[in-house]
Amino acid sequence: MNYQTTAEFARQLDTADKLATYRDKFLIPQHNGHDAIYLCGNSLGLQPRSAKEYIDEQLTAWQSKAVESWFDGDKPWLSYHKEVAALAAPVVGAHTDEVTAMNSLTVNLHLLLVSFYKPNNKRFKILMEAGAFPSDQYAVESQVRFYDLDPSDAIIELKPRSGEYTLRTDDILKAIDQNKNELALVLFGGINYYTGQVFDMQAIAKAAHNAGAYAGFDLAHAAGNVPIKLHDWDIDFACWCSYKYMNSGPGGISGIFVHKKHHHDQSLKRFAGWWGYREDKRFLMQPGFEAAIGAEGWQVSTSPILLLALHKASLDIFEQAGGIAVLREKSILLTGYFEYLINTINKTQGREIYRIITPTDIESRGCQLSVICNYKAKATFNYLVSKGIIGDWREPDVIRLSPVPLYNTFSEVYNVYIALNEVIKNIDI
């Protein structure tokens, strides 16, 4: 598309936007009596207007039926998580029985590592990105130490080449092959939280399997952001949070994926709990754990119904909008427009004031653009905040800005462009 730097062009894009009405399904933060420009869905998605209704439904069920709500009513609690799984599965490209919603992200990562990190004298190493979100680094380090291994020996962290910000797929695949005799697991984020780089999950999983290792992914910044095909890509396991692009509330419930090929694998160890017991015999209360078939067999604790209700409120909107493929069409335009406007500022100024470190290739990025501010970075961020533009600051000089297709507009992106231009004049760069 031939983008233009005019407000009228942005309005034309908004008029043609098939998803424009979905903005009204969310509550927009206010700034000086007007809608703020919220570009922080990479950290916390906005609240669906329906969230209170979905919560109230379950509070009413609790009030009127109490414990009987587990078995009675329009949405019995005993199977409520199945409704949520059925909605979540298409978002991550999975079969319904490969997905369930439970716990929080890092808890789920630990539970899955119990099954899929099986170090021995020969294979004990985990390969991951050096810039993974800290909780993943802490989780992996603690898992390695649990087996009395030294993290410096057991963890391989890949860094971008000198002078580059993102990892090259070829370098990842080469590292997997170079360590193939010692690798137990390849664990990556679907998207790097800092740079916004989308990793080639299919290629990484294939290389891991060729090396004799499992392949797992943390999809915290990918789920609900970009199309994912966990089943078709033959990924062994994955987990994600739901409070970023899936708008399910702060600390919202997490999801897991376990590929069908592992559902009957008795060699996989797991930490068991009553909720993961096979449903047809669960209430017999017998000793001896028998896992439910599918991802449900990795469940441990009783479903938190109120958190599931919040998650369902958002996932219903995803389904109504036509699914992740439809969202992706707008996202490509929205982020591409934003990239064009930022680069236009640099061209106009004759110098690189804003450096986008997120890949230019649309297949290697989602909603997020990570921008290095080369001059007075924190002052730039504070100026944006003063104008009601909510992004995300990362030390020492990066602002993450993520226009989300469900609730952001092209005019908002244009107004951020205006503000970034004003910065140059107003803070004397």
For residue 98, with 0-12 CB atoms within 10 Å meaning exposed, 13-18 middle and 19 or more buried, which class applies? buried
Length, in residues, of the chain: 429
**What is the distance between the alpha carbons of residues 251 and 179, in angstroms, rounded to a whole number?**
36
At residue 232's C-alpha, the angle toward residues 229 and 235, to 5°, is 80
Q: How far is CA 302 from CA 93, 248, 305, 315, in A?
A: 25, 19, 9, 21
Q: Which amino acid is at 21?
A: T
Q: Does domain 7-47+323-426 have CATH number 3.60.15.10?
A: no
* Half-sphere exposure of residue 189: CA atoms within 13 angstroms, side-chain side: 29
Mean pLDDT value across residues 297-307 = 97
**Least confident piece of the model among 42-56, 142-156, 194-208, 413-427:** 413-427
**What is the distance between the alpha carbons of residues 70 and 61, in angstroms, rounded to a whole number?**
9
pLDDT digits (tens, 9 = 90+) for 337-365: 999 999 999 999 999 999 999 999 999 99
pTM of the model: 0.96
Indicate the SS3 state at residue 95.
coil
pLDDT category of residue 427 using cuts at 50, 70 and 90: confident
For residue 235, the model assigns a pLDDT of: 98
Q: Does domain 54-321 have CATH number 3.40.640.10?
A: yes
**What is the distance between the alpha carbons of residues 49 and 139, in angstroms, rounded to a whole number?**
35
pLDDT category of residue 429 using cuts at 50, 70 and 90: low
**What is the distance between the alpha carbons of residues 106 and 136, in angstroms, rounded to a whole number?**
7
Domain pair 7-47+323-426 / 54-321, same fold: no
Q: How far is CA 366 from CA 41, 197, 238, 401, in A?
A: 12, 8, 18, 11
pLDDT digits (tens, 9 = 90+) for 44-89: 999 999 999 999 999 999 999 999 999 998 889 999 999 999 999 9
The continuous run of DSSP H or E covering 128 comes out as: strand 125-129
- Asked whether the bond before 396 is cis by omega within 30 degrees of 0, the reply is yes
Per-chain mean pLDDT for the chain: 97
Share of the chain above pLDDT 70, in %: 100
99 with 81: CB under 8 angstroms?
Answer: no
Query: What are 180's strand-pairing partners?
Result: none
Residue 188 pLDDT exceeds 70: yes
DSSP secondary structure code for residue 402 in this structure: B
191, two tokens: 């998207």
Q: Where are the domains of the chain?
A: 7-47+323-426, 54-321
pLDDT digits (tens, 9 = 90+) for 376-395: 999 999 999 999 999 999 99
Residue 428 pLDDT exceeds 80: no
